[in-house]
């Protein structure tokens, strides 16, 4: 926590320097640099296998790195002495497959971590959980089980579950990739609300329209490096790199 005390909100909330990551002999990340300010919305786009998901999984230490540094609020994430629980209180994550706890109701899913990890008062947590359910527009589904909900509804519960921990940063790992097209929008609207509330969001996404509308900054990765980055308008309208242009022409 000593490193933490030197961090001030005007410094990058997430600072990624020359990150190297390999799975066995296969190098996924080959020197990634990124600075993210508090309240920024970052979209990471790129072809499959370019290391996008791996990168954001490194930010909350679900994956380890072989070289470089990732600092969250000044704290080195890959310090072997790091208290992972402390890190994960600050960084929320939402997954492609929702990964809700199937044996718990919507409300129980949301309440579990604040009660068990933050040791907060159950009644207060429940109140907060109920308002979060409403915030993600699922009022009335408090006592439903995940298996009774659609994919889009489950994903919104997953977002609420993360938010219940009051994180400073939210990571979204292709959260709409497993959804039916008609439910994608409801999830995106939820994320957009969050972004407008000032939450620092890091998204891996294939939703280019959404990225353009909501992101403050776009990063394009390919084969483990950042090929190009910039504010959405510059990025989408006047990409310079050939690989970026090719990717955009295929996807847009």
The site for another protein (CB under 8 A) is made up of 60, 62, 84-85, 88-89, 91-93, 95, 97, 99-103, 112-113, 116-118, 144-149, 158, 161-162, 165
**Closer CB to another protein, residue 194 or residue 227?**
194
Three-point CA angle 188, 237, 218, nearest 5°: 45
Q: Is 173 helix (H, G, I), strand (E, B) or coil?
A: strand
**Closer CB to another protein, residue 117 or residue 251?**
117
**Closer CB to another protein, residue 29 or residue 91?**
91
Three-point CA angle 212, 218, 223, nearest 5°: 125
Name the residue among 230, 235, 234 with its Cα closest to residue 217: 230
Interatomic CA distance for residues 70 and 77, integer angstroms: 6
Work out how close the CB of 111 gets to another protein at its nearest, in angstroms, rounded to a whole number: 11
Work out how close the CB of 4 gets to another protein at its nearest, in angstroms, rounded to a whole number: 16
Work out how close the CB of 213 gets to another protein at its nearest, in angstroms, rounded to a whole number: 27
**Closer CB to another protein, residue 113 or residue 211?**
113
**Closer CB to another protein, residue 11 or residue 97?**
97
Tokens 């929008």 found at: 185
Work out how close the CB of 79 gets to another protein at its nearest, in angstroms, rounded to a whole number: 17
Work out how close the CB of 199 gets to another protein at its nearest, in angstroms, rounded to a whole number: 16
Interatomic CA distance for residues 90 and 70, integer angstroms: 14
Q: Are 51 and 28 in contact (CB under 8 A)?
A: yes
**Closer CB to another protein, residue 54 or residue 162?**
162
Query: Please, what is the angle between helix 122-135 and helix 151-163, to 10°?
Result: 140
Output DSSP code: residue 166: -
Work out how close the CB of 146 gets to another protein at its nearest, in angstroms, rounded to a whole number: 7
Alpha helices (runs of H) in 98-166, residue ranges in sequence order: 106-116, 122-135, 151-163
Name the residue among 4, 37, 3, 34 with its Cα closest to residue 169: 37
Number of helices and strands in the chain (H, E) = 10, 10
Q: Are 207 and 190 in contact (CB under 8 A)?
A: no
Tokens 């990124």 found at: 34
**Closer CB to another protein, residue 110 or residue 214?**
110
Work out how close the CB of 118 gets to another protein at its nearest, in angstroms, rounded to a whole number: 8
């Amino acid at each position: 926590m000593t490193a933490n005390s030197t961090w001030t909100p005007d410094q990058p909330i997430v600072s990624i320097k020359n990150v190297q990551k390999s799975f066995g002999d296969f190098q996924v990340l080959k020197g990634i640099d990124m600075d993210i300010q508090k309240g920024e919305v970052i979209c990471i786009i790129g072809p499959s296998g370019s290391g996008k998901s791996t990168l954001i999984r490194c930010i909350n230490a679900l994956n380890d790195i072989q070289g470089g540094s990732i600092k969250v609020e000044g704290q080195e994430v890959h310090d072997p002495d790091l208290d992972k629980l402390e890190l994960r209180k600050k960084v929320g994550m939402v997954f492609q497959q929702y990964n809700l706890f199937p044996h718990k109701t919507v409300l129980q899913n949301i309440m579990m971590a604040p009660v068990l990890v933050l040791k907060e008062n159950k009644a207060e947590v429940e109140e907060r959980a109920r308002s979060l359910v409403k915030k993600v527009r699922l009022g009335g589904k408090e006592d439903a089980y995940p298996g009774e909900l659609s994919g889009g509804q489950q994903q919104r519960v997953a977002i609420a579950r993360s938010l219940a921990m009051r994180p400073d940063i939210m990571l979204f790992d292709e959260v709409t990739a497993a959804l039916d097209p008609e439910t994608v929008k409801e999830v995106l609207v939820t994320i957009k609300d969050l972004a407008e509330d000032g939450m620092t969001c890091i998204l891996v996404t294939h939703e280019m329209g959404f990225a353009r509308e909501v992101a403050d900054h776009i990063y394009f990765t390919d084969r483990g490096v950042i090929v190009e980055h910039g504010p959405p308008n510059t990025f989408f309208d006047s990409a310079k790199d050939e690989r970026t242009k090719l990717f955009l022409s295929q996807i847009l």
